Chain A
Amino acid sequence: MADLTRLTAAETAERIASGAVSAVEVAEAHLARIDAVDEKVHAFLHVDREGALAKAREVDGKRARGEELGPLAGVPLALKDIFTTKGVPTTVGSKILEGWIPPYDATVTRKLKEADVVILGKTNMDEFAMGSSTENSAYGPTGNPWDLTRVPGGSGGGSSAAITAYEAPLAIGTDTGGSIRQPAAVTGTVGVKPTYGGVSRYGMVAFSSSLDQAGPCARTVLDAALLHSVIAGHDELDSTSIDQPVPDVVAAARNGSVEGLRVGVVTEFRGEGYQAGVLQRVDETVELLRELGAEIVEVSCPSFTKALAAYYLIAPSECSSNLARFDAMRYGLRVGDDGSHSAEEVTALTREEGFGDEVKRRIMLGTYALSSGYYDAYYGSAQKVRTLITRDFERAFSQVDVLVSPTTPTTAFPLGERADDPMAMYLADLCTIPANLAGNAAMSVPCGLAPEDGLPVGLQIIAPAMADDRLYRVGAALEAAHQARWGHPLLEEAPSL
C-alpha cells in the first residue's frame, strides 16, 4: 500500500469514507512516522496515542454501522499546545503549566472532535506563543525538517514542522503577529490566519486578546480550507466571535482563479533587510499572477512601517494583563509555599521560575507601556497607529481585491542566531503584523526555494475581513500554476529525514 502519511487530508478523508483504508490504519501510519522522526524534529510535546487510536476506532465503527461521518473523519491532526484538551496535558510551551490537565475542551478542540478528526497530540510552540522560532519553548526547540539546524518559525513551529515532516496532514496554529503564516513560509507549507473573530478563542490560552486568532496549517490550499470550515463559526462562549456565516472557503479552494482579480503589491515590504532570493521568488510569483490574468497594481501603505513598533507595545500590554492570571493559586506551578512566604511572594517566586525570558520581557514591556506617565506616549500612540494601519488597508481595498507581499523578510534562520537578540527576532514578523492589527484575513502559500540557500519562500496574501474565501481562490490558483511549473509539490524537494 502507498505511504498513508503522504496523502493529503482530502484524499485521506475520501479513502476512509469509501472504505479503501481504515481510520485505524491511517492513525497507526502517522504514529509510526512520529516514532520514526520526531526524536529529530521535536514537533510534539505530547503524543496522545490511546486517544488517537480510540477516535480512529470510533470512526471505523461509525462507518461500519453506516452512520454519518464528519467532514474530516479519520484525518489525523496535530494541535498546537495552546488549546485546552480535556484530560490531555496543555502546557502552552511553559513550565508554569507543566503537568496541567485541563478539565474542559476549547471550542476548536470540540469542533475537531465533532468533525471526527483524529487528534494525534499537542505541538511545540514558543512559550505563550511569544516568539518567531519555537526556541522560546520551555521544552526545547523544534527543528525545521528542511534543515534541522534551522528554525521552523514560530510561535507555531511544532505545527508547521509536523505537517512538513509528514507526521500529520493537518495542524492547528494560532496567529497573533504571524505565528501561523511565518512558520508556513519557512517550511514551504500553507498557513491561514482567518479574519479576527472568525474562529472562537474559547479555551485558547490568551496572549493578546485583540490580536489572537486560530487557523489551519496544511500542505495544500484545499486541505487548509477543509480544516478552516470545520473550526470556523460563531461561538457564544467567545464574545468577540463574529455572528455571520463563514465564507465558503472550500468552494473557493476548489475553484482557484485570479482572472480579472486586482492584486495590490505592497511597496513598503521590500528593500533593506529583505533577502534577495525571497524578493526574487515573490516577484516571479507576482509575475505568475499577471500571467494567470490578474491585474497587478502597486499599493502604498505608509503606516505599515510603524506596525512592528505598534505591535510590540499593544501585544505586550495585553499580555501583561492576560498573564496576571498565572498567580500560583488555582492551577499550575507553585513555588515557595513552605510557610515562610506570603501569597504575594509565592506568586512572584512562581512567576520567576515558571516563565522564560521572552515572557518576562514582554510582561515588563507591557507593564511599562501601560504605566501612568508613559501610557499616552506608548500605548496611546500605538492605538493611533493601529487606526492609521486600518485606514491604509481600507484605502488599499478600495483599489484592489487582495494585497500580496513576502510573508517573511528572510528564509529560515539558524537555531540560536537570534535567540537572545529580541529585536532581530521581532523582525521576522515585519510583514505579517499589519493584518493582525486590522483584523484582516491572510494566508501564506509557498512560492519556491530561495536560490542562495535552497530554503522555502512564502507569499503572503491579505484579504479584507470576512473575505477569507478570496485567499483560497488566489492560493489555489497559485498552487496549481506553481505545481504545473515545478512538476510536483514543493515539499517533495525537502530532504528525507
Chain B
Amino acid sequence: MPGISREEVAHLARLARLELKDEELDHFAGQLDDIIGAVAAVSDVAEEDVPPTSHPLPLTNVMRPDVVRPGLTPEQALSGAPAQEQQRFKVPQILGED
C-alpha cells in the first residue's frame, strides 16, 4: 500500500480541523507513514469472505418511555461556554460578510 506524503497529512489536518504548523507536518508525516506501514498488515484479509464486526455486542435500538424528566438548567448547560449571550452559546462568525 502507498505511504503517506506531507501534502496528504496537510489535507487530513484540514479535514480534521487541526491548524498544524509546518514543522508539525514534517514530524507527523514520517510518523504516520511508519504507523500506516505497520497497520497495513490487516489488508491480508481484505479479500477474505469474513463479515465485519463493528461492535462486541449485537446492538439493536434501545428504547425507553418518552417521559419528561429533569435535565440541566440553562445556567448549568452554559456553565462551560467560552462565551454566552441571552442564555445561548455565543459563537464566532459562521457566514461570510457578503
Contact = CB atoms under 8 A, between A and B. Distances in A.
B92 A378 contact: no
Interface in A382-399: 382-388, 390
A296 to B, nearest CB: 28
A376 interface: yes
A162 interface: no
Given A310-B42, A378-B39, A437-B56, A364 B13 contact: yes
Contact of A329 (B32, B39, B52, B91): B91
A95 interface: no
Interface residues of A, number: 72
A371 interface: yes
Contacts of A355: 18
A351 B4 contact: no
B50 A351 contact: no
A383 to B, nearest CB: 3
Contacts of A357: 27-28
Contacts of B68: none
B45 A465 contact: no
A264 B5 CA distance: 44
Interface stretch (A29-37, A235-243, A474-482): A235-243
Given A330-B81, A343-B91, A346-B92, A438 B12 contact: no
Given A360-B18, A368-B12, A439-B56, A423 B1 contact: no
Contacts of A324: 17
Given A330-B80, A330-B89, A240 B32 contact: no
A312 B38 CA distance: 9
Interface stretch (A139-147, A182-190, A331-339, A404-412): A331-339
A7 interface: no
A44 interface: no
Interface in A426-441: 426, 437-439
B34 A309 contact: no
Most buried by B among A210, A313, A371, A381: A381
Interface string B1-25: 1001000110011111111110010
Contacts of A384: 42, 45-46, 48, 50-53
Interface of A: 100-104, 196-197, 210, 236, 239-240, 242, 306, 308-310, 312-313, 320, 324, 327-334, 337, 339, 341-349, 351-352, 355, 357, 360-361, 363-365, 367-369, 371, 376-378, 380-388, 390, 422-423, 426, 437-439, 465
Given A102-B80, A334-B83, 9 more contacts: A104-B76, A309-B41, A324-B17, A349-B19, A351-B16, A351-B18, A355-B18, A384-B52, A439-B56
29 contacts: A236-B64, A239-B62, A309-B38, A309-B39, A331-B81, A337-B82, A337-B92, A342-B96, A343-B91, A343-B92, A343-B94, A348-B18, A352-B19, A361-B32, A361-B35, A364-B28, A365-B32, A367-B12, A368-B8, A377-B43, A378-B42, A381-B43, A384-B46, A384-B51, A388-B45, A390-B53, A422-B34, A423-B34, A439-B56
